[in-house]
Amino acid sequence: MAAESTAVPDTSASATSVSSAAPPTHASVLREPVVSTPSLVADDGPVVFDVDQLNVYYRDFRAVRDVSLQVHQHEITAFIGPSGCGKTTVLRCFNRMNDLIDGCRVTGGLAYHGVDLYDDRVDAVEVRKRIGMVFQKPNPFPKSIYDNVAFGPKINGTKKKGELDDVVESALTRAALWDEVKDRLGKSAMGMSGGQQQRLCIARTIAGDPEVVLMDEPCSALDPIATARIEDLMQELKSDYTIVIVTHNMQQAARVSDRTAFFTAEVHSETDTRTGLLVEYDRTDKIFSNPSDERTENYVTGRFG
């Protein structure tokens, strides 16, 4: 009691460590608890990604310019637009996959829960754990179904067989694949159908326990039935994850997404190059029923692209 009533400034370790905190060391930035930025609009979820005037270059070539948009938690955000307008390029910025491309450079702001993803102190490997990616062509490893899903958790240190079994079952269940594969977990993933392989890749991503799942045209190699299953799956997953999907299929964007970003490309006739840009970003029903920009209207009504 006596100590509490004195007027001596609090010099306890915790108070000192706040006031004289060293800058976060390499990789620590993303280890802090995720604090969501509250949205200004009441019915919008918290902002997960805040993209501000983003530009992406491949060496001297500016592939995309001036992209600004916000991705909200537990929503599906779709990127649509003609081929070559930069949808994949922008998507790859969200988990720093562009780091792996020689000559690729990103400028402008890209904040993930308020943390600049391109801050020098941010560890790209940690970023990719939190922000998983599913690719256009299903890319299972040439391993068993079980080992595909257990791959990430094993690397991350989940070694106990019982725990791994639980992670594998849970991820396969969430990816709507468990019932189809539970009796052949030891069989090669290469023997699965394309649709099953893509759900396996989704299970593999989920098993890494990400917050966000990026999907780049995940259905483009699939038949309509497998596509419908993946679309249903996305709807189920969005209560647990935030999803950003690139699709060339406008009907798919209209069916599954909450918000849609329409990109196009401007042509520079002098250099015969094209730069992608974001034309319009809004709620999906608005984009498809009453877009603000004539270019969006022409695209969604099929008059262009």
Ligand X SMILES: Nc1ncnc2c1ncn2[C@@H]1O[C@H](COP(=O)(O)OP(=O)(O)O)[C@@H](O)[C@H]1O
* Binding positions for ligand X, rule: CB under 6 A: 58, 63, 83-89, 101, 274, 276
247 binds Mg ion (CB under 5 A): no
Let me know if 289 is exposed, middle or buried by CB neighbors in 10 A (0-12, 13-18, 19+).
Answer: exposed
Closest C-alpha to 28, from 154, 141, 148, 120: 120
- When the beta carbons of 88 and 197 are compared against Mg ion, the nearer one is 88
- When the beta carbons of 63 and 192 are compared against ligand X, the nearer one is 63
Which part of the chain contacts Mg ion (CB under 5 A), choosing from 22-30, 59-67, 86-94, 187-195?
86-94
Task: Pinpoint the alpha helices (H) of the chain.
Answer: 2-5, 13-19, 87-93, 124-130, 145-155, 161-174, 178-181, 194-207, 224-237, 250-256, 284-289, 294-300
- What DSSP string describes 120-135? TTS-HHHHHHHEEEE-
- When the beta carbons of 79 and 146 are compared against ligand X, the nearer one is 79
- When the beta carbons of 146 and 262 are compared against Mg ion, the nearer one is 262
Axis-axis angle for helices 194-207, 145-155 (nearest 10): 20
**Cβ 113 vs Cβ 36: under 8 Å:** yes
Least distance from ligand X to the Cβ atom of residue 284, Å: 18
Least distance from ligand X to the Cβ atom of residue 239, Å: 28
- When the beta carbons of 132 and 276 are compared against ligand X, the nearer one is 276
CB under 5 to 8 A by kind: which of Mg ion, ligand X, none does 174 bind? Answer: none
88 binds Mg ion (CB under 5 A): yes
Q: Establish how many alpha carbons lie within 13 A of residue 202's alpha carbon, considering only the half-sphere containing its beta carbon.
A: 31
Would you state the torsion angle of the CA atoms of residues 269, 271, 277, 279, taken in this order, to the nearest 10 degrees? 0
- When the beta carbons of 88 and 198 are compared against Mg ion, the nearer one is 88
CB under 5 to 8 A by kind: which of Mg ion, ligand X, none does 86 bind? Answer: ligand X
197 binds Mg ion (CB under 5 A): no
- When the beta carbons of 86 and 152 are compared against Mg ion, the nearer one is 86
Which part of the chain contacts Mg ion (CB under 5 A), choosing from 58-66, 85-93, 185-193, 285-293?
85-93
60 Cα distance to chain centroid: 26
Least distance from ligand X to the Cβ atom of residue 132, Å: 19
**Cβ 112 vs Cβ 35: under 8 Å:** no
Residue 33: what residue type? P
CB under 5 to 8 A by kind: which of ligand X, Mg ion, none does 89 bind? Answer: ligand X
State how beta strands 104-112 and 115-116 pair. antiparallel
Least distance from Mg ion to the Cβ atom of residue 136, Å: 7
CB under 5 to 8 A by kind: which of Mg ion, ligand X, none does 85 bind? Answer: ligand X
**Cβ 268 vs Cβ 274: under 8 Å:** yes
Least distance from ligand X to the Cβ atom of residue 238, Å: 22
Residue indicated by tokens 């060391």: 25
Residues that bind Mg ion (CB under 5 A): 88
